[in-house]
Amino acid sequence: LQRIDYVTHQPFNEYQKDVNDLRRGWVGAMQPKKGIMPHIKALSRLSRYILTGFALMLLAFLALASFSFNDGIVLIATFFQSFVVIYFVHWIFHKSDLSFDAVVKFFTAGFVIATPTAFLIEGILVNIMLGFVYVLYSGFELFGGEDFDQWVSNNNRTLWIISELINAFLFSALTEELCKYYTFRCIEHPDLIFLTGLDREAQAVSAKDGGGEKYAYSSHNVSDFNRQSPAHGRVSEHRGGSKSFEDGDSPQEGVIHRVDTTEEFFEDDTDVRTHRERAAAVTTAMISVAVGYACAENFIYVFIFGDSSAEGQGDDLERDDSHLIEEWIILFVRSIFPVHALAAAMQSINVIRKFIENPEKNGHNIGVGRIVLPALILHGSFDAILMVVNVYVETAWEDYLRRHGGSIPDDDEVLEWDEPYDPLAVNLAAWVGIIIVMLCGIILYVRENRLQRNRLVVLEQWTRANMELPHVGTDGSLPTAETSEIPRTIPTPSFTRDVSVL
């Protein structure tokens, strides 16, 4: 209710006015400010602490960890590829829609909050599932005996694939997408104040048009609310800000002196962004959370999971070379397919529909399931392909070792005609499957984004027409829902009526 940063408790109005001034410069309302320094000056204290802390922690990690020079290069590249995505998504295309301060906070939230939360929940769910499967297996084994064991052995590959599909969609994709979405929703920022229910400017307009009482916690609206409410007694319009009571009045019936300061109105500085620009801000913020998550996940896979596979491989020089190559391969594969960023963009479609496209009419019909479902299908399909390919490779090696008595033949000629699987065919199938999934996700997002932009254009045109209509009657009274010529609902664009949207 106080609209402050969580950690530093800095009020939004201390830094958001600088951001709004930057936007006014871009739309021509005032002298534009070029370069990155105005964006740096508009940072909040929390964002400055985050950037400074990140630089110090990175230097300390490089100095204290047992890293070689090559490992340090890979570490820098791990962060660099995430920063490149942010650079293009935010700085090149949307720096006027979402502030740099917001990008820093949302990226950090994805890195620090979403990643450990997702890993913790996934670990708990996987262990619960393993415990359930163990109990189920023990029960069937007790009644089925050796016949059940033989059936499990004969259908090992099928059962493994089913378990990996469950893991891909329910444990991995669903958990990660929910963690990213709720991380985005838990961050309150003045650029996206319309998502939190504290958009006082919109609520004041709604109140003026007959939509209910103004937001009572706004500093200047509280005075108006108190002045018109008989429960708060008579209100004095004198300046000074002190509270006094008339003779014989109780404190509940006292006179409240209205305070008129300029600082309180900075919070409700007019947002010059259009509906499309607000929608772009939502998408950029959600992508920032996803990229922060992907950056932390890449770091874990490259330096923690990837490091363990290099242990015990020959001499130190050979081990270092193979380790470095493996790190670069993992980072490269995880970087060229930005599934987390694309999934976040797909989530943003329904978030925008819920909060920007006539929220009074459609907002209550869009829940978390509808927001997350397209991203879940994309992310789950991506993970499922990789997991199924891994199951095929593992089972092929098991069959191969079983045929050769548990050992690999030394004769190279034997391996030429008796390989466990065809590496070229397996890798080609995996790459083709992943590319098809990513292309389907991109096509679906582009289509939905284009339709949504058309709907937002209609909404902007309706809003401009609504603002041009008179709001005061000839007798000085405000129009009501019965007498106003302003349409009470936003017209639905004809080109979207027959379109099936997720």
Give the model confidence (pLDDT) of 91-109 as tens digits. 888 888 999 999 999 999 9
Does this model's pTM top 0.85? My answer is: no
- Token pair listed for 214: 């103004």
CA dihedral 235, 237, 239, 243 (to 10 degrees): -10
Among 17-31, 222-236, 296-310, 448-462, the range scoring the smallest mean pLDDT is 222-236
Average pLDDT of the chain? 75
How far is it, in rounded angstroms, from Cα 1 to Cα 185? 16
Quick one: pLDDT at residue 29?
58
Percent of the chain surpassing pLDDT 90: 33
β-strand partners of 11: 4
Decide if 459 contacts 275 (C-beta within 8 A): yes
Quick one: pLDDT at residue 148?
86
Decide if 26 contacts 96 (C-beta within 8 A): yes
As a whole number, mean pLDDT of residues 264-291 equals 82
**88 pLDDT above the threshold of 70:** yes
How far is it, in rounded angstroms, from Cα 63 to Cα 465? 61
**332 pLDDT above the threshold of 80:** no
Buried b (16+ CB within 10 A) or exposed e, 203-219: bbebbebeeeebbeebb
Decide if 342 contacts 471 (C-beta within 8 A): no
As a whole number, mean pLDDT of residues 172-201 equals 86
How far is it, in rounded angstroms, from Cα 386 to Cα 71? 26
As a whole number, mean pLDDT of residues 297-306 equals 76
Pairing state between β 243-244 and 235-236: unpaired
Residue with tokens 């080609």: 428
pLDDT in tens, 386-434: 899 888 888 888 888 887 777 766 655 555 556 777 888 888 888 899 9
How far is it, in rounded angstroms, from Cα 151 to Cα 161? 16
Q: Which stretches does DSSP call E strand in 200-318?
A: 235-236, 243-244, 255-257
Q: Which has more confidence, 272 or 28?
A: 272
As a whole number, mean pLDDT of residues 154-159 equals 88
Among 67-71, 317-321, 348-352, the range scoring the smallest mean pLDDT is 317-321
Highest mean pLDDT among 191-205, 226-240, 396-410, 481-495: 396-410
Quick one: pLDDT at residue 442?
96
Quick one: pLDDT at residue 322?
56
Decide if 224 contacts 214 (C-beta within 8 A): yes
Which amino acid type is present at position 292?
G
Quick one: pLDDT at residue 147?
85
> Which residues are within 8 A (CB) of 458 and not within 5 positions of it... i.e. 6 or more apart?
490, 491, 493
Quick one: pLDDT at residue 396?
85
pLDDT in tens, 468-486: 654 444 444 444 444 444 4
As a whole number, mean pLDDT of residues 227-231 equals 42
As a whole number, mean pLDDT of residues 321-334 equals 63
Q: Please report which confidence band the pLDDT of residue 68 belongs to, taking 50, 70 and 90 as the band edges.
A: low
Quick one: pLDDT at residue 374?
96
**225 pLDDT above the threshold of 60:** no
**440 pLDDT above the threshold of 90:** yes
